[in-house]
Amino acid sequence: MTFKEKVYEFAKKIPIGKVATYGQLAALAGNHKAGRAVGTFMKTNPYAPAVPCHRVVGSNGELTGYTGGKGIITKKKMLKNEGVVFKKDKVDLSRSLWKPN
């Protein structure tokens, strides 16, 4: 399985109400330094909605890089509807970060 395929497989596992960071997915897939590559994979995700790219955020909880609908506005609305907790415009990672087994 390629690095890219691993990233998509891990992203599929992010449950409703949780988020992962780009760096977290990169590390899970085997290259902790490839967070930017993960961002590119999410931007060009051919498997949405099975691979929920809207559930991937920056390492500080910032919403970045979403091109669906009205961009970041749509991403935030989708995450809030799923129960993700926010502090102002950032995801509260202490409450909504996915912790895989």
Residue 58's domain is classified under what CATH number?
1.10.10.10
Residue 22: name the closest of 49, 50, 73, 62 by CA: 62
Distance in angstroms (rounded) separating the CA atoms of residues 5 and 46: 12
- Domain containing 71 equals 3-96
Q: What residues act catalytically?
A: 53
pTM confidence score:
0.95
Angle (deg, nearest 10), helices 3-12 and 35-43 = 70
Q: Would 40 be classed as within a structural domain?
A: yes
**Domain count for the chain:** 1
Distance in angstroms (rounded) separating the CA atoms of residues 74 and 36: 21
* Average per-residue pLDDT for the chain: 96
For 34-50, how does the pLDDT look when each residue is reduced to its tens digit (9 = 90+)? 999 999 999 999 999 99
Distance in angstroms (rounded) separating the CA atoms of residues 88 and 85: 10
pLDDT value at 101 more than 90: no
Q: Would 101 be classed as within a structural domain?
A: no
For 47-67, how does the pLDDT look when each residue is reduced to its tens digit (9 = 90+)? 999 999 999 999 999 999 888
